[in-house]
Structure 1
Amino acid sequence: MLDTGQRIALLGHELGHYANGDTRQGVVLGNALQSLHTWYYLLSRIERPTLPETLLNACYLVPRGVVVAVATALDHLTLRATQRGEYLADSFAARCGSTAAAVGLMDALLVSDSAEATLLRESNALRTQRSGGRAAGAAESGLWERLAAYVESIPAGEYERQRRRSALRGHSVDSTHPPTHLRRSRLLAVAALPATVTVDSARGAALRAELSGARGLVARRVLNGG
């Protein structure tokens, strides 16, 4: 659902966390948080357990509680620095893909719920088609094109409505990100930047070819409810 400039801005944002010395991406805290998330996954409760697994779930209660407590403490202690890191990464996104592309990326976040609903409809439609004996190949091959076409069809008024709704309700990607409307306003409050990273048609075609396998794999997972 992103155009080329917005994808570059997104990559610039993620790489900007490392370039700007984001606290949570450092060697110590980054590895600590990753380890805690891994331990939380390993200690997660087993659903619909057998009797031995019920006992195992009980044994997991205390260590899982410790992991949650430590992760929560680190989250709160680094929250301010992390939100500052997001703003700096947004600036890096604008430098790489242009201010317009970075702002467009913010707008795309505001309609992500609509995009998710579209993918859910596609998944449900495929299940109905399968019950009628139709193959899934066509649905998988054109999934991303249909999603992009849907997002392209969203009128400008809907984006404006979502921006106002974001300002009222404080939309953010998650608890570690500042409100999306504040991130967008900050980008627009300074002089617009041109893109420093551009992709010509030949490189764009090479990138699409390189990602084609991954696109198909993710499409199958999405349509299969994964």
Structure 2
Amino acid sequence: MDAVVVDVEANASVTHLGLRRRLLTLGLPLWEVLSPQQRIALLGHELGHFTHGDTRHGMVVGTACRSLSTWLYYVRPMPNPNVIQAITNLACVPLRLLITAVMALLDLLTARASQRGEYLADGAAARTGSTEGAVGLMDRLMVTDSIVTTLQRETNSRRLRGTGRGGEQNTDGLWEALVAHLGSVPESEFERRRRVGALRGHSVDASHPPTHLRRRLLLDGTPVPATVTADTARTERIAGELADVRGTLAREVVRDGYGDL
């Protein structure tokens, strides 16, 4: 990887930046609730998209998807427009429709390859962080809505308390509260989510196969041990490297509200 970005999404992804550079984006809320081996499985999964030549993460299609998403962002309608802005919004309608149509076409043409890529990346996650770590990662992915709800509750609570010393809002223990909440979720709730996911075909998004099928494929195969292990020293070095980012993102989330960034 040539660059790593840490944001506040409960997700992770990889993409190309131009012709040669690769970008890894880690969502801190997801990272925080994972065990060390689940984190390694997550990295194994994301890097596995490059290893197996996943079309949507490749240089051509991946860059195209990213560019189209950026263009769509810039031509989005301006809220509460004045007269000139309203005219601009109307003028951008054909361009928005064209970009949306091309993105839909790319999704359609790469859907099967993308789903195959997810299964292969899951295999990379298991080989890297162990089958147990990869399965645990998928269980966490099934409760991302709970991660979002907990962060919204915690940030709103801190905003309502007002400011503390130096006029800053209290951000202490934000990520710890998130970890504590996910740690208190009983196994019965995870099992309920699995059954609901099997009935509804739960997936992270349309490009991903249903999570219960991905999980079942790993469990039906021969369990594999981790090729990369998270010893105490390595875990502490990673935590130290992320310490400043954790503080910065906690302040931004509490200041601006989660979901509004």
1:98 aligns with 2:130: yes
Residues 126 and 180 of structure 1, relative CA distance in 2, 3 Å threshold: same
Write the mapping of 1:182-193 to structure 2, written as runs, cut at 5 A: 182-193=213-224
1:144 aligns with 2:169: no
CA shift for structure 1 position 141: 3.2
Question: What is the TM-score of this pair, normalised by structure 1?
Answer: 0.95
CA shift for structure 1 position 129: 0.1
2:242 to 203, 207, 211: 211
1:26 aligns with 2:80: no
Percent of aligned pairs sharing the same letter: 51
Aligned partner of residue 140 in structure 1, secondary structure: coil
More helix by share: 1
Aligned amino acid, residue 69 of structure 1 = A
Separation in 2, partners of 1:110, 1:22 = 23
Aligned-residue CA RMSD (Å): 1.4
Write the mapping of 1:134-173 to structure 2, written as runs, cut at 5 A: 134=164, 139-173=170-204
For structure 2, list consecutive stretches of 5 or more residues without a partner in the other structure: 1-32
1:177 to 185, 208, 220: 208
Q: Kindly indicate whether the alpha-carbon contact (under 8 Å) linking 2:158 and 2:171 is maintained by their aligned counterparts in 1.
A: no
Q: Which residue is 2:160 aligned to?
A: 128
CA shift for structure 1 position 169: 0.9
For structure 1, list consecutive stretches of 5 or more residues without a partner in the other structure: none
Separation in 1, partners of 2:176, 2:234 = 20
CA shift for structure 1 position 222: 2.5
Separation in 1, partners of 2:171, 2:127 = 34
| Greater CA drift, 213-222 or 168-177 | 213-222
More strand by share: 2
Separation in 1, partners of 2:169, 2:133 = 31
Q: Which residue is 1:83 aligned to?
A: 115
Q: Which residue is 1:3 aligned to?
A: 35
Q: Which residue is 2:7 aligned to?
A: none
Separation in 1, partners of 2:159, 2:241 = 29
Separation in 2, partners of 1:58, 1:191 = 57
